[in-house]
Amino acid sequence: MIKVLLSLLIVCPFSALQATIFTVTNTNATGAGSLKQAVDDARFTGTLDTVAFDIPGAAPHTITSGSVFFYSPTYIDGDSQPANGYTGNGKKIIYRSSGADPNGFGFFTDSCTVKNIQFEDWDNTVVGFSGASYLTFEGNAFIKRVPSGGFSVLAYGCIGCTIKDNLFSKEEMGGPCVGYSPSYHILFTASKKMEFTGNEMCVFNNTQAFRLTDVDSTIIQGNVLGGNPDDCSILNQTAISFNDTSTNNIIGGILPGEENTFIGFNDSGISLTDGSKENLISFNVFHCILDDGIEVTAGSQNNKTAPEITFADGASVIGTAAPGDKVAIYRSTDNASLSCGGVTVPQSDLYYGEVTADGAGNWTMTGTFEGFLTATATDAANNTSVFADVYDTGVGFTNTSSPCYSLILAAEEFSLQAQYHSATGTLLSWNSLGESTSTIQVQRSTDLQRWIQLGRLPAVGNSDFRDPHPPAGYAYYRIQQMSEEGSTMLSSIVSVFVDAREWTELHVFPNPTTDQLTLIPHNHSFLMPETTVELFTLQGKSILINKIEETSSSHEMKIDHLPRGVYILSISSQNQRLQQKISIL
């Protein structure tokens, strides 16, 4: 699947200098050709250098060693190692503890990148020592095959660190848990402007996934935290905790792929304590959380109170909140129906949308709803509340995407077809349904895990549906049939590909920002005339529009006149449209 990447671009002061490549040619712990020697040699050049691998023989290659310390900017990628006949899915370079040192990689410098290395059996795998910033760890695997405490990644005072698409106690994306977990997978203190995105973590042995202390302006999106994908065993820790006045962080999001998924925690999913405030929590998926999906202690989140749902049925939700609050409506997981057992507590598995409470504190959302509903409230300073008490709409539902449900309904095969056109979007069509089908729900996914509802239609008289704005890359569709008796069945899945190659590496930076945004398309792409750059509020109100007048390799957008908050940046041309969440500080 092609994913559109809109990320923070870090301009490194070393990039203009001539870099040197130091090559690892053996698996020795020390000496010529070793990993340790290559990193030590890179220390003295004064440039951003590369450590590459070219070890003879078929991968994977295991380097059993003591600590390796970085003292100058270094780029190291395990995928630089030739396969030499290796056809497996695992990492080609394994960096294993010899047992002599507690720490694996240690960083005393800024601007280092470590990619595609499997770390094994370290007490403390990666350590960013005080002041080390702009560290990037991407596509690595962190595995303990012996029980011990410690942590996977720790840093103090880090600015701009990125932890992306890594595996924790796993060897492949979507695969089973392996080995043991440390005390903490990610442990950061007094750090800011970081990104934790797309990581998969197995969390057991009383492990905490994230412990973030005095952390500011950080994005946590697209992570999967919990046990095996098909295991709902209850774990014994909070998934993510914010401590010591952690401020202005974003957890989750309403765009596809931004949600974090939490499966099986005996404590809270997200915990905010010690006066932590102004943390925006958007749609996240919670299953088998036995305490609270979101926990907020007294004095945190500016004591933001939850909204109240006073009425809900299949067509509307009504409630109260503080005037001006943004109220997000969710379908709540019914833990009483889960194979993992437990009590019913408010949490979420489907995002319906957001409304704003009026001056009297009243709000109403109309649409199509089912099951148990809950909601959160967010004030103008981005303090998000705990979940509201659940309200039963009286309309039954079955969550077919959650591995925690004891009954997954089988798909009924019928003819579903999809055709994509750049000007009109995706046209779905299907054959006539059985007489017992009363309504159909059209659903779309970008990852075959999270499905969003595009529309709900009467079965009679309907045999097609148009999705005018599918996301770039692969879009997957299915139809859920609902009978008059309340039973549901799913169609087979069809897919289309939305070609947006021109912008697959468009960067938007800085984000968060204060006065200006810059857009840069990479890989020799350009912003073409008639491209529209538009900024929306989270409620969908357009507040700023720029038109590209001539072909350009970049575009600057002044936003210093806008209020502090979170916005949606939309970039669209005749046949392409991308969106990215932007934070203005």
Percentage of the chain with pLDDT > 70? 82
Indicate whether 153 pLDDT > 80: yes
pLDDT at residue 204 in the model = 78
Rounded Cα distance, 21 and 38, in Å: 9
Do 182 and 151 contact (CB within 8 A), yes or no?
Answer: yes
**CA quadruple 286, 257, 519, 74: dihedral positive or negative?**
positive
The predicted model gives 377-389 an average pLDDT of 96
The neighbour count for residue 55, using CB atoms within 10 Å, is 21
Count of alpha carbons within 13 angstroms of residue 392, beta-carbon side: 5
Side chain identity at residue 579, one-letter code: Q
Indicate whether 487 pLDDT > 70: no
Side chain identity at residue 218, one-letter code: T
pLDDT at residue 501 in the model = 42
Question: Per this entry, what is the length of the chain?
Answer: 585
Q: Locate 307 and state its tokens.
A: 């909204």
Confidence of residue 8 (pLDDT cuts 50, 70, 90): very low
Where is 38: in which H helix or E strand?
Answer: helix 35-42
Rounded Cα distance, 110 and 74, in Å: 9
What are 233's strand-pairing partners?
none
Rounded Cα distance, 426 and 468, in Å: 6
Strands 326-332 and 350-356: antiparallel
- 57-61, 169-173, 344-348, 479-483, range with the lowest pLDDT: 479-483
Looking at per-residue pLDDT, the higher value among 193 and 16 belongs to: 193
pLDDT tens readout for residues 279-290: 999 999 888 787
Side chain identity at residue 516, one-letter code: Q
Do 265 and 238 contact (CB within 8 A), yes or no?
Answer: yes
pLDDT tens readout for residues 92-111: 999 999 998 999 999 999 99
Angle at 142 between CA 140 and CA 146, to 5 degrees: 155
Looking at per-residue pLDDT, the higher value among 483 and 426 belongs to: 426
Indicate whether 226 pLDDT > 60: yes
pLDDT at residue 341 in the model = 44
DSSP string, 220-238: EES-EEES-TT--PPBSS-
Q: Locate 21 and state its tokens.
A: 């490549």
Indicate whether 409 pLDDT > 70: no
pLDDT tens readout for residues 69-88: 999 999 999 999 999 999 88
Confidence of residue 355 (pLDDT cuts 50, 70, 90): very high
Where is 155: in which H helix or E strand?
Answer: strand 151-156
The predicted model gives 116-127 an average pLDDT of 95
Count of alpha carbons within 13 angstroms of residue 563, beta-carbon side: 8
Rounded Cα distance, 172 and 167, in Å: 7
What are 577's strand-pairing partners?
572
Side chain identity at residue 472, one-letter code: A
In terms of phi and psi (left: phi > 0; alpha: psi -120 to 50; beta: otherwise), the region of 245 is left
pLDDT at residue 477 in the model = 87
Confidence of residue 174 (pLDDT cuts 50, 70, 90): confident
Looking at per-residue pLDDT, the higher value among 353 and 495 belongs to: 353
What are the b/e assignments for 57-74, b being 16+ CB within 10 Å?
eebbbebbbebbbbebbb
Rounded Cα distance, 425 and 577, in Å: 11
What are the b/e assignments for 512-532, b being 16+ CB within 10 Å?
bbeeebebbbeeeeebeeebe
- Listed residue (171, 170, 154) closest to 90, CA to CA: 171
Which residues are CB-contacts of 516 (< 8 A; sequence separation ≥ 6)? 556, 557, 558, 559, 560
Side chain identity at residue 19, one-letter code: A
Q: Locate 324 and state its tokens.
A: 């001006």
Looking at per-residue pLDDT, the higher value among 574 and 353 belongs to: 353
pLDDT at residue 576 in the model = 62
Number of H helices, E strands in the chain: 1, 50
**3-state DSSP assignment of residue 480:** strand
Rounded Cα distance, 55 and 76, in Å: 15
pLDDT at residue 360 in the model = 95
Do 106 and 134 contact (CB within 8 A), yes or no?
Answer: no
Do 433 and 414 contact (CB within 8 A), yes or no?
Answer: yes
Where is 146: in which H helix or E strand?
Answer: none
Indicate whether 205 pLDDT > 80: no
Indicate whether 470 pLDDT > 90: no
pLDDT at residue 390 in the model = 87
Strands 224-226 and 200-202: parallel
For the chain, give the mean pLDDT. Answer: 82
pLDDT at residue 329 in the model = 96
Rounded Cα distance, 292 and 308, in Å: 17
The predicted model gives 564-574 an average pLDDT of 80
pLDDT at residue 12 in the model = 36
Indicate whether 554 pLDDT > 90: no
Do 543 and 562 contact (CB within 8 A), yes or no?
Answer: yes
Indicate whether 6 pLDDT > 80: no
Count of alpha carbons within 13 angstroms of residue 134, beta-carbon side: 16
E-strand stretches of 14-86: 21-24, 49-53, 61-65, 68-70, 74-77
pLDDT at residue 227 in the model = 67
pTM of the model: 0.69
The predicted model gives 198-223 an average pLDDT of 92
pLDDT tens readout for residues 125-152: 999 998 899 999 999 999 998 887 899 9
pLDDT at residue 13 in the model = 37
Indicate whether 272 pLDDT > 50: yes
CB-based burial of residue 318 (10 Å sphere; 0-12 exposed, 13-18 middle, 19+ buried)?
middle
CB-based burial of residue 245 (10 Å sphere; 0-12 exposed, 13-18 middle, 19+ buried)?
middle
Do 218 and 250 contact (CB within 8 A), yes or no?
Answer: yes
Indicate whether 267 pLDDT > 70: yes
pLDDT at residue 539 in the model = 73
pLDDT at residue 196 in the model = 97
Rounded Cα distance, 185 and 206, in Å: 11
Indicate whether 156 pLDDT > 80: yes
The predicted model gives 333-339 an average pLDDT of 55
